[in-house]
Chains A and B, each alone.
Chain A
Amino acid sequence: MEDVIETLTRGNPTEVKVLLASVALALAVYQLVLISVGYGKVRPGFLAAAPAASAHRAVGDTIVVVLVVVAFMCVGYFGLEDDATLHIVAAIALLSVLALKIVVIRWWHRMGRFLPALGISVWLLLALTWLTSAGDFLANG
């Protein structure tokens, strides 16, 4: 697994991981804007609620793919290191809440009223996961 990741990233697994995680975080910030329009909290003249919600769903699907790739890279290359406990806990919580959110969106519609809380939780956990790894790498090298 390590060799595959090393080859795919051309010897830059950390850099690629940091880049993908940062892209996911940037898109997650955009997601907040889109869903604010989707729920009608913000009403710009150029974007209606329905297309904003559709775009939110499409961007969300993209973020999920990026996060799964990052998670595979993280576990496959770096493993579960002792000095990254907070990062590991935040990442596991992030993927769990994200999976629950997907289940609620696709099948468990009765729990739809919890979607805003789940979305905010995903955002906060993503920010914490990024801060304890990519953010730290970018700040301190």
Chain B
Amino acid sequence: MAERSHTRQMIGSLLVGLAIVAVAVAIVTAKFGSTSAAEREAEEERLEQREERLEERQELREERLEDGN
């Protein structure tokens, strides 16, 4: 009985430790924000795609203007 109680309390203590790890990871990663390389790369990719779309639109506009003339 005492053995079971010991195991249960120890598992509970380790689960609290896991919760502390999860909270620490959440706080630190939230603090990093967009400084992570993966997020930066995703942001750069989004910017590149936006620029490409703008360029395409610009080209289309110029083509239409040339056709109109």
Contact = CB atoms under 8 A, between A and B. Distances in A.
Nearest to B27: A22
Given A22-B24, A26-B24, A46 B38 contact: no
B9 A23 contact: no
Nearest to A30: B20
A47 B21 contact: no
Interface size class of A (residues with CB under 8 A): 20 to 34
Nearest to A22: B28
A138 interface: yes
Interface size class of B (residues with CB under 8 A): 20 to 34
- If over half of B's interface residues share one DSSP class (helix, strand or loop), that class is named, otherwise mixed; here it is helix
Interface string A44-62: 0011101110110011001
A64 to B, nearest CB: 14
B47 interface: no
Interface in B15-55: 16-17, 20-21, 23-25, 27-29, 31-32, 35-38
A29 B17 CA distance: 10
Given A27-B20, A51-B6, A19 B28 contact: yes
A11 interface: yes
Contacts of B25: 19, 23
Given A19-B29, A55-B14, A59-B14, A26 B23 contact: yes
A66 to B, nearest CB: 10
Interface string A118-134: 00000000000000000
A15 interface: yes
Given A26-B23, A34-B13, 20 more contacts: A10-B38, A11-B37, A11-B38, A12-B36, A15-B35, A18-B32, A19-B29, A22-B27, A23-B21, A23-B24, A27-B21, A29-B20, A48-B6, A50-B6, A51-B5, A52-B13, A55-B10, A55-B13, A58-B10, A138-B28
